[in-house]
Amino acid sequence: MGLQADRDWSDRFPILNQIAFFDHAGVAPISAPAAAALRAYADQAATRGYVDAGWYKRIESVRALGARLIGAASADEIAFVANTTTGLNMVAGGIQWREGDQVVITNVEFPANRYPWKDLERFGVRTVEVEAQPDGRIDVQDVCEAITDHTRVVSISSVQYASGFRIDLRPIADIVHQAGGYLCVDAIQSVGAVPMDVQDAGIDFLAADGHKWMLAPEGCGIFYCRHDLIELLHPVLVGWMCMEDHTNYGDYRLEFASGGRRFEPGSYNVGGVLALAASMELLLDVGLGAVWSRIELLTERLCRGLEQKGYDVVSPRSQETERSGIVIFRPRPGAPPPQQIVADAWSAGVVIVVREGRLRASPHFYNTEAQVDRLVEALP
């Protein structure tokens, strides 16, 4: 079911009363419920500390929200991490690598999904890069053909930050599993915007920070590890919280927790988790299908407006399954440089950005059609 076109979301997203924000693929504004959760945490911490707070009990329930958001089988498969980079490093640093092992990535990944794997070359692990097509697409067959018996991990973004291309992960999962390897996904540009089901897609590991499409603060995200692979990964950071009997402080028994808590070495970013929970609840209440339908409607409207104004839409959008919330476009001939266009748009109260020398707009479900038209009008 789609969202009502005339629904006013300004009570949940007060930024609507200020500016037309189209950079959810960067750092998104947090939702009003997330802001309220932060204020409540700060008030409690300032006036009563941990007395009667119940924060840690609440945090355990937040795992279930993360599981629902990505279609995980169990809340025990979810760990809280500081960011996507940390989650990806849980895999890169947690596997027992052998010299001659290979990791398959693409040549257009965000740096967070490149450096952890390249760093493994000091252990004799080879990084194999699949080149993107000239139109920004990544050919699934190219990825599958790069997988060999030496491939331990394929690590790929579900949506590419600089093109908006969304890839079909299931065929890749099938091939890498046949080779005895695993599929790791940087899902920061998907979770909260595009419906995801880690089980249907065959994903083994997933990481996503909350500060983009999940509409939460920076510094808190989720890491998913398939339940039967949890013991495969040795924790990158070892501390008191990731022990099975972690509240029995004087019993120094090094026994890792059996679930996602295995990857949480120390104290939580409590305010961040509570705010993330508030935004995840909002997204789940709206419905991820409805969220995506609305994003698709807005991006389609934007692409039509851009093309009518002579701008070249770069993001692959001919197939519905390859679309995302990101629209990459080039200035029309004779237009000012991209950075100047961004500055002029900001003067008109419209926020877009430049990525890899091209313009990027990324609306969320609460943006209005009038704001999309305002963006197009702000372009030279």
**CATH code at 141?**
3.40.640.10
Query: 159 near 196, Cβ under 8 Å?
Result: no
Joined together, the tokens standing for residue 16 give 């609507």
Across residues 165-174, what is the average pLDDT?
Answer: 98
pLDDT for residue 4: 62
Domain containing residue 372: CATH number: 3.90.1150.10
Q: Is residue 346 part of a domain?
A: yes
Averaged pLDDT, 239-261: 94
pLDDT of residue 1: 45
- Give a yes or no: residue 177 inside a domain: yes
105 domain-assigned: yes
Residue 160 pLDDT > 90: yes
Q: To the nearest whole percent, how much of the chain has pLDDT over 90? A: 94
Give the total number of structural domains in the chain.
2
DSSP string covering 125-137:
PEEEEEPPPTTS-
Q: Kindly state whether residues 264 and 330 are assigned to the same domain.
A: no
Contact 176, 125 (CB under 8 A): no
Q: Specify whether 246 is located in the same domain as 321.
A: no
Domain co-membership, 262 together with 335: no
User: How far, in whole angstroms, is CA 291 from its chain's centroid?
Assistant: 15
Stretch 327-348: mean pLDDT: 94
User: Looking at 31-40, 244-253, 291-300, which range is the least confident one?
Assistant: 244-253
pLDDT of residue 332: 83
Asked which of 261, 285, 309 is the last residue of a domain, the reply is 285
Q: Are residues 281 and 323 in the same domain?
A: no
Same domain, yes or no, for 208 and 163? yes
Q: Is residue 7 part of a domain?
A: no
Residue 46 makes CB contacts below 8 A (sequence gap 6+) with none
Q: Crossing angle of helices 270-286/32-47, nearest 10°?
A: 150
Same domain, 261 and 193: yes
Q: Residue 2 pLDDT more than 90?
A: no
| Residue 315 and residue 220 share a domain | no
Looking at the structure, do residues 187 and 262 belong to the same domain, yes or no? Answer: yes
In-domain check, residue 9:
no
Strand segments, DSSP code E, in the chain are 20-21, 78-81, 102-106, 126-130, 151-157, 182-186, 205-209, 221-225, 312-313, 327-330, 350-351, 353-355, 358-361
Mean pLDDT to the nearest integer, 160-179: 98
Is 90 exceeded by the pLDDT of residue 182? yes
Task: Among 285, 305, 325, give the residue marking a domain's end.
Answer: 285
One domain, residues 206 and 300: no
What per-residue confidence (pLDDT) applies to 318? 87
Mean pLDDT of the chain: 96
Residue 191 lies in a domain: yes
92 and 173 part of one domain: yes
List the Cα angle 283/274/219 in 5-degree steps: 90
Which domain, by its residues, includes 305? Answer: 14-22+288-378
pTM over 0.85: yes
Query: Smallest Cα–Cα separation from 228: which of 199, 255, 195, 254?
Result: 199
The whole-angstrom separation of Cα 240 and Cα 265 is: 6
* Single residue among 257, 285, 313 that ends a domain in this structure: 285
Looking at the fold, whether 293 and 323 belong to one and the same domain comes out as yes
Q: Of 5-9, 72-76, 213-217, which gets the smallest average pLDDT?
A: 5-9
